[in-house]
Structure 1
Amino acid sequence: MKGFAVVVGFCAFLAHSAVLAEAPGDPLSWLGRIASAGHRLNYSGIFIYQSGKNFETSRIAHLADPVGGERERLEVLDGSPREVIRNNSEVRCVLPDQKMVIVDQPGGQRAFPSRLPASFGGLAENYRIRKGEVGRVAGLDAQLIVLEPKDNLRYGHLLWAELQSGLLLKARTVGETGEIIEQFTFSDVKIGGEIGSEALKPRYTGESDWRVVRAHGVEVPREEIGWSLSAPLPGFALTSVVRRPLGNDRGEALHLVFSDGLAAVSVFIEPAGTSGTRPGVVPMATGAVNMYKRIVAGHVVTALGEVPLETVRRMGDGIERGAR
């Protein structure tokens, strides 16, 4: 039996070495694999989201069809039922308890395991990027890629990618002292193969009395914004400007997105009379998301994102009326 164990261990070593030989050595090449794998591969599985003491389990199925594009179904398995159905760029968030369906085109927002943008070349300007050790996630060998922020305006990120496919198996966001801000981890995953229609079929079809909220924004030319950031934050650039309906005859909000290529801050600007927010500064935090509100020129400015509080505070304080 001892000899059998030695043979098995030696075979495992050879298989592991062969995989390592095929994998790229450059950490930037790994980021490229991670960025594309979440979109081009078929996969299904169960992952756990952790934020502080809160945990949430979700089931996901993703189909990459050369003809029909991407289709995805995500179902939250804990607490109040929720389901997210994606068909290419359109996302339908179904909330059965509220009898509501929210239809949106989130644009630059990225969900696990597609956490990285297609264009990531600028990340090296704001993060030190290096390879870590090879570990195991959901029973699969995974290469660790570490992104260490060069300042205190963004969090650090640890990314574990499956060695053969590059699919992101685990993503951890960490604070300045290394504390876990949030984490996504596959507990079970199947990469490749067929994704049946049943796996993508919505559980909730929506009844006639359900409310449908269409949150699609309308793009606004940057020269017509009427607002500007007086003191730009290092590494963050304006990437998107849209007008979004507030609902219930409350008018519209201007939605600006500033990003460094990985971290993003959303700034919403709406008339003060529509939000019920009292004048004054209101900082808040929920898990990895920090939020900061203030009143300026008769409008409520809300800055929020998965960044440190200092970042949203500086972003919120820097927004002023008038185009630059």
Structure 2
Amino acid sequence: MRFFSAVLGLCALLAHAPAYAEAPSDPLSWLGRIASASQRLNYVGTFVYQSGDHVETSRIAHRVDASGEYERLEVLDGSPREIIRRGNEVRCVLPDERTVIIDQASGRRAFPARLPASLNGLAESYRIRKGEVGRVAGYEAQAVVLEPRDDLRYGHTLWAEMQSGLLLKSRTVDEHGGLIEQFSFSDLRIGGDVGMDLLESRFTPDDDWRMVNARGNDMPRSEIGWGLAQALPGYSLSSVMRRPLGRDRGQAVHMVFSDGLAAISVFIEPIGDGSSVGLGPVSNGAINIYKRTVNGHLVTALGEAPERAVRLIGDNIQAVQQ
């Protein structure tokens, strides 16, 4: 009985003690913690993605040491897929297709790295506030709510682990509050050693596999040759590069417009066979796609943003004089 009394007394003391004195009080500081935690921490976990009737489970292992950042993400449902990251190189392994796609890491990656390193101007497009403290995957989590100021972006709620700031859960909603997509850890270990065995691919490509180099080359903005006839409020050009289209197909111009959270990519490529297929808007979960032809080129705009925003970007792309 003394043991149980002591335990109950300790629980009572902990219940009345401040949970984490170092936790920031303002929501912008919480967003900064979320943005950095996914890159500077070691963690291993399982998370679930939900969009409409589609549910998918993935396993992720992430490690940071003096030599850089390492990550392996494996989709556990359906066809096997892996994303292997080594520093600035990302490899998408598709064993059923016997293909490896090689690309470079972008500023914003998959869950839990949902936020970019720079959050400048975010408050101009979203009303940001702290939500309630809850529990996700066994951890105390602080909710941060981002409400869009217009209909050109989605709303978001982010749940960050109280001590580390690591993103535990992310929910994206439409203008009516309806769920568009959600990521949530179901099992997670933060910190400790993450062995290289957890970061290596389960598949060993041989001579029969295709190695596709999708890496682009940054290009000066003065050489783009394309621009927006009318700017979209809150969105600005954050990057531009040339990307290979494949054998004998030349290159595409890849422009990214971002408000600091939402990002819309625009691919501009010469019209080829089948370019007229699928013109107009298409929706796939949180991602909207819009295609049109202009001046002998196919323009494809896509991003995790409302259809109106993606369409406005696509319709306003035009050739500009150098």
TM-score bucket (shorter structure): over 0.9
Identify if the C-alpha distance between structure 1 residues 194 and 236 changes in structure 2 by more than 3 Å, giving closer, same or farther.
same
Q: TM-score, normalised to structure 1's length?
A: 0.95
Counterpart in the other structure of 2:135: 136
Aligned to 1:7: 9
State the partner residue of 1:35: 35
Per-residue deviation, 1:108: 2.7
CA distance in 1, matches of 2:50, 2:14: 32
Shift of 1:228: 1.1
Q: Which residue of 2 aligns with 1:118?
A: 117
Corresponding letter in the other structure for 1:73 = R
What's the counterpart of residue 230 of structure 1?
229
| Distance of 1:126 and 1:262 partners within structure 2 | 9
1:132-174 CA distances to partner (integer Å, 9 max, x unpaired)?
Answer: 0000000110000001110100001100000011000001111
Measure, in 2, the Cα distance between the counterparts of 1:185 and 1:12.
27
Number of the residue aligned with 1:291? 289
User: Aligned to 2:302, what secondary structure does the other structure show?
Assistant: strand
Aligned to 1:48: 48
> Which residue of 2 is the match for residue 160 of structure 1?
159
1:305 paired with 2:306, answer no
Instruction: Look up the SS of the partner of 1:273 in the other structure.
Output: coil
| Structure 2 residue aligned with 1:271 | 270
**Contact 1:280-1:295 within 8 A present in 2 as well:** no
Rounded Cα–Cα distance in structure 1 between residues aligned with 2:255 and 2:217: 12
SS at match of 2:37: helix
After TM superposition, the structure 1 = structure 2 runs for residues 65-84 of structure 1, keeping only pairs within 5 Å, are 65=65, 67-84=66-83
Which runs of no fewer than 5 residues in structure 1 stay unpaired?
Answer: none
Q: Deviations over 1:168-214 (max 9, x none)?
A: 00011111011111111000000000111211121012111100000
CA drift of 1:3 comes to 6.3
1:279–1:295: 8 Å Cα contact kept in structure 2? no
The answer to which of 239-248 and 74-83 deviates more is 239-248
Asked whether the 8 Å contact 1:92–1:102 carries over to 2, the reply is: yes
Distance 2:123 2:178 in 1: 22
Instruction: List gaps (5 residues or longer) in structure 2.
Output: none
- Percent of counterpart pairs with the same letter? 62
Residue 115 of structure 2 aligns to a residue whose secondary structure is coil
Q: Residue in 1 aligned with 2:319?
A: 321
Between stretches 74-83 and 240-249, larger displacement belongs to 240-249
Instruction: Tell me what 2:202 maps to.
Output: 203
Whether contact under 8 Å (1:280, 1:294) holds in the other structure is no
For 1:296, give the aligned amino acid: V
Q: Output the TM-score relative to the length of structure 2.
A: 0.95
Once residues 90 and 11 of structure 1 are traced to their aligned partners in structure 2, the CA distance between those partners, rounded to angstroms, is 48
Correspondence for 2:240:
241
Q: Secondary structure at 1:37's aligned position in 2?
A: helix
By how many angstroms is 1:252 displaced? Answer: 1.1
Judge conservation of contact 2:108–2:116 (CA < 8 Å) in 1: no
Aligned partners of 2:230 and 2:316 also within 8 Å: yes
Q: In 1, distance between residues paired with 2:20 and 2:192?
A: 23
Offset of residue 23 of structure 1: 1.0
Shift of 1:18: 2.7
Q: What is the CA–CA distance in structure 2 between the aligned matches of 1:21 and 1:72, rounded to whole Å?
A: 31
1:91-130 residue pairs with structure 2 within 5 A? Answer: 91-130=90-129
**Structure 1 runs, 4 residues or longer, greater than 6 Å off:** 1-5
Question: Once the 2 structures are TM-superposed, how far is the Cα of residue 236 of structure 1 from its aligned partner?
Answer: 0.5
Q: 1:251: which partner in 2?
A: 250
Q: How many residues are aligned here? A: 320
